[in-house]
Amino acid sequence: MCPIYPFQLQGLEESVVNKIAAGEVVQRPHNALKEILENCIDAGSTKISIVVRDGGNTLIQVQDNGSGIHAEDLPMLCERHATSKLEKFEDLAKMRTLGFRGEALCSISYVSHLTVTTMRQGDGHATRTVFRDSKIEEGPKACAGLVGTTVHVEDLFYNMPIRRKALKSSSEELSKVLEVVGRYAIFHEGVGITLKRQGNQRPDLCTGQKDTTLEKIRMVFGSQVGSNLLPFESCPQDSSNGSTPSTSGGELQFSAKGFASSANYTAGRRTVLVLFINGRLVECTPLKRSLETVYASILSKTSKPFFYVSVTMPTEHVDVNVHPTKKEVHFLHQDDLIESLRCSVEKAVFSSNDHRTYYKQT
């Protein structure tokens, strides 16, 4: 009889484990870019320039003016779980940085050709290092450069033919890349972000350090959205009955601000919720659905609203470690928070002058 399993039970080689893990963290170019961008922000950058080729499929290059990387850190830069952001498991509850797992560069080095050029303030020169499968393949070599770090990722999934074939067309990948970059550009005040396709003079996106949130929303989502937004703020008192909601596990604590589209915005074909929780770009379908209900009686069925929401809550109320790409977080008091936000949006929409032009459904 044929054995069901072809091999005896054994531990996988580290390189196989790393390659499997890499495929979870980096699924498409925009996942890699999000990780690289988060590293720039964690490094205190105020200017970030991105160049992509084929929507990121064959090149993603990100240059920042952040802290740079210590020369002595380079040998372990791409080792799995090597991070300068977390020491103890308990620190996870008070994470202030976007990164914490030390997995991104490692993963990227397993599925692409990765070169890192970096220089710190006071260094006499920059250094360029090529990484492959988490180890240094070439360098570090001295080179000219500016303070900051440039991460150059070529030929994503060159060694994973199935994954490579599954990549979408350049234009589809580019639109996902623009979506991620645009959202980070809106959120991060004081950070200017440029995104260009290689060979193009004109950038696809260019935000300045001094641009306001509203200006950046207009740049990224267009003037139809930007001209029809109502600001709102929210805190735990904003639930419908006026009392502070509380559930088991302590009190709901948060502050939130954002923009919701007014009834005059009728061009939306799908609901857009740009949500940041403690500076993390995340998805939350229940919140999206709840905010949509505010518009049920005032927009036609085919018009969908737009929301930009930034929530700040105690770091210990958020579990950031629930998804390989960190696109989901779990947080305490989710239902109460959603209800507070819904009430605040409702107040903003119904107290605006725009309500006179509301479309009534029959």
Chain positions contacting ligand ADP, by CB under 6 A? 35, 39-40, 43, 64, 66-67, 69, 77, 83-85, 99-106, 149
CB nearer Mg ion, residue 35 or residue 211: 35
CB nearer ligand ADP, residue 73 or residue 335: 73
Q: Which of 262, 252, 258, 292 lies closest to 275 in space, CA to CA?
A: 258
CA 119 remoteness from chain centre? 25
Say which residues have a Cβ less than 8 Å from residue 342's Cβ, sequence separation at least 6: 290, 291, 293, 294
Q: What distance in Å separates the CA atoms of residue 343 and residue 291, rounded to the nearest whole number?
A: 9
CB nearer Mg ion, residue 99 or residue 148: 99
The listed partner (Mg ion, ligand ADP, none) that binds 340, CB under 5 to 8 Å by sort, is none
Q: What distance in Å separates the CA atoms of residue 67 and residue 120, rounded to the nearest whole number?
A: 6
CB of 99 to Mg ion, least distance (A): 3
CB of 213 to Mg ion, least distance (A): 24
Q: What distance in Å separates the CA atoms of residue 350 and residue 354, rounded to the nearest whole number?
A: 8
CB of 41 to Mg ion, least distance (A): 10
CB of 2 to Mg ion, least distance (A): 45
CB nearer ligand ADP, residue 109 or residue 344: 109
Element holding 111 (H helix, E strand):
helix 104-111
Instruction: Give the pairing of strands 47-53 and 192-197.
Output: parallel
Q: Which residue's C-beta sits nearest to ligand ADP? A: 99
Instruction: Give the pairing of strands 135-143 and 229-234.
Output: unpaired
CB of 295 to ligand ADP, least distance (A): 38
CB of 322 to Mg ion, least distance (A): 17
**Site of interaction with Mg ion (CB under 5 A):** 39, 99, 104
- Spatial contact of 192 and 230, defined as CB atoms under 8 Å apart: no
- Which own/partner pairs from 197-200 qualify as long-range (CB within 8 Å, at least 24 positions apart)? 197/51, 197/52, 197/53, 198/51, 198/52, 198/53, 198/59, 199/53
CB nearer ligand ADP, residue 60 or residue 104: 104
CB nearer Mg ion, residue 180 or residue 309: 180
Element holding 187 (H helix, E strand):
helix 170-187
CB nearer Mg ion, residue 193 or residue 341: 193
For the chain, the first-to-last Cα distance in angstroms comes to: 69
Q: What distance in Å separates the CA atoms of residue 105 and residue 314, rounded to the nearest whole number?
A: 28
Please give the structure tokens belonging to residue 194.
Answer: 């440029």
The listed partner (Mg ion, ligand ADP, none) that binds 228, CB under 5 to 8 Å by sort, is none
CB of 159 to ligand ADP, least distance (A): 19
The listed partner (Mg ion, ligand ADP, none) that binds 105, CB under 5 to 8 Å by sort, is ligand ADP
